[in-house]
């Protein structure tokens, strides 16, 4: 009966009055009406026809929301679509502009039911209309974010099948889709097609393509693209520079990577600590402690905090290279920065001097460590013993071993 009343008053009834009747009847009938997809469909179609989209959203939500009161879903996409299609066939004079279907798609998307949202998009409807580009781009974007590439290409295929025109955002999404599947050549083809169709790539488009080229190891091509971007009056942003930086870093082109970082700083952009740490690590792996220290200084100048782990890494690499002057310089920086060297820091220093058979400084560091209430570990004493053995000072070795047994250092650490 309620459905009949609503249906008879669709064409000449005031929307607010009809909606009030709907809510009143829902209150009176309680659960029965909530489960009637046909009634809900009539109301939502009526509201969309009256362009009351805000109110229609609430009704659409009821149609697809899982209801704890009834222990299940109100309706699957097929059920909901069937009910809406029936309404349009029954209601003469109501023109479908597709908004009701897009509200349905958005409803599923917002509820995290992306598969259902795509199902609604892909289903053939009983009425003819064209989906808006906004809706299509939203589905493409969500599919990329969720790494749902199979659904991404289904949406893309439906867009081509129904001849929905692309815009800059669509092309950017499609390029990104190819990049995520490591298909750089296809991404390049779409990028070229974009220009041929009269669409100018924006900064985001360039960045997506630059990232893809860098991941594919085509860093030189990425730089050419960046230069093309500048020639067209676009300004590279942090994302552009970071992509180029990581591309160079992966190729172990450390000096070029540093140049990109410095150019970025010169443009007023601020690299994050991750980029600096990557560059420092790259120089250290090449044994270039001096350059690593320079980058460390740049990092501090840009306002990034340097942690003790990073300094310990610098000390470790400098010790491995036997550059004890640089080691002392790093130690001085730690103290100057107001940091407290850890037991690990001292152990690295002691190891470095022991390997150079400079036992005088090694023991000085051991004493300094104790004065700062930092307990030497088994590793610390092992380095000392190894250094003494290399210097053939076996009496001192026996003396330290006796001291350790007396203090039960070996047992306590092994037990721990």
User: All domains of the chain, ordered by start, with CATH?
Assistant: 1-129 (no CATH), 133-236 (1.25.40.10), 342-416 (no CATH)
User: In this model, does residue 414 exceed pLDDT 50?
Assistant: no
For 84-120, b/e burial (b = at least 16 CB within 10 A) is bbbbbeebeebebebbbbbbbbbbbbeeebbebbbbb
Stretch 185-209: mean pLDDT: 96
More confident residue, 281 or 193: 193
Identify which of 15-19, 26-30, 335-339 has the greatest average pLDDT.
Answer: 335-339
pLDDT (tens digit per residue) in 258-293: 999 999 999 999 888 888 888 988 888 888 888 888
pTM of the model: 0.76
- CA atoms of 209 and 180, how far apart (whole Å): 10
Stretch 145-163: mean pLDDT: 95
**pLDDT number for residue 246:** 93
pLDDT (tens digit per residue) in 65-122: 643 334 444 457 777 888 787 777 776 666 666 788 888 899 888 888 899 999 989 8
Q: How confident is the model at residue 128 (pLDDT cuts 50, 70, 90)?
A: low
User: In this model, does residue 401 exceed pLDDT 90?
Assistant: no
Give the residue from 401, 396, 319 showing the smallest Cα distance to 360.
396
- 67 φ, ψ to 5°? -110, 120
Averaged confidence pLDDT in the chain: 84
Planar angle of CA 234, 235, 240, nearest 5 degrees: 110
**pLDDT number for residue 127:** 54
And the tokens for 285?
Answer: 């792996």
**pLDDT number for residue 404:** 78
**pLDDT number for residue 69:** 39
């Amino acid at each position: 009966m309620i459905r009949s009343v609503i249906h008879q008053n669709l064409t000449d009834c005031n929307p607010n009055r009809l909606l009030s009747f709907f809510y009143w009847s829902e209150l009176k009938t309680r659960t029965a009406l909530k489960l009637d997809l046909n009634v809900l469909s009539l109301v939502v179609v009526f509201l969309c026809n009256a362009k009351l989209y805000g109110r229609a959203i609430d009704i659409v939500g009821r149609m697809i929301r899982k209801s704890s009161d009834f222990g299940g879903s109100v309706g699957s996409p097929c059920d909901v679509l069937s009910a809406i299609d029936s309404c349009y066939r029954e209601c003469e004079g109501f023109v479908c502009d597709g908004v009701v279907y897009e509200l349905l798609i958005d409803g599923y998307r917002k509820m995290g039911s992306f598969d259902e949202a795509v199902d609604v998009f892909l289903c053939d409807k009983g009425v003819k209309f064209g989906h808006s580009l906004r809706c299509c781009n939203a589905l493409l974007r969500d599919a990329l974010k969720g790494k749902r590439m199979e659904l991404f290409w289904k949406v893309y295929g439906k867009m081509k099948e129904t001849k929905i025109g692309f815009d800059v955002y669509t092309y950017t999404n499609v390029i990104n889709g190819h990049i995520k599947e490591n298909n750089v050549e296809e991404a390049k083809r779409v990028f070229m097609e974009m220009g041929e169709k009269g669409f100018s790539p924006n900064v985001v488009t360039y960045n997506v393509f630059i990232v893809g080229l860098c991941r594919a190891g085509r860093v030189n091509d990425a730089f050419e693209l960046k230069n093309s971007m500048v020639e067209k009056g676009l300004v590279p942003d942090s994302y552009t520079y970071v992509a180029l930086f990581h591309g160079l870093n992966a190729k172990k082109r450390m000096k070029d990577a540093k140049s990109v970082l410095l150019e970025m700083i010169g443009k007023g952009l601020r690299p994050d600590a991750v980029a600096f740490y990557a560059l420092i690590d790259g120089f250290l792996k090449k044994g270039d402690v001096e350059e690593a220290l320079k980058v460390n200084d740049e990092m501090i100048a840009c306002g990034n905090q340097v942690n003790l782990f990073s300094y310990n890494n610098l000390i470790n690499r400098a010790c491995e290279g036997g550059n004890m002057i640089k080691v002392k310089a790093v130690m001085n920086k730690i103290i100057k920065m107001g940091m407290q060297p850890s037991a690990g820091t001292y152990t690295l220093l002691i190891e470095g001097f022991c390997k150079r058979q400079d036992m005088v400084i090694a023991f000085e560091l051991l004493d300094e460590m104790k004065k700062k209430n930092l307990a030497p570990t088994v590793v610390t004493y092992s380095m000392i013993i190894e250094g003494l053995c290399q210097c053939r000072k076996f009496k001192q070795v026996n003396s330290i071993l006796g001291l350790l047994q007396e203090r039960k250092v070996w047992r306590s650490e092994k037990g721990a």
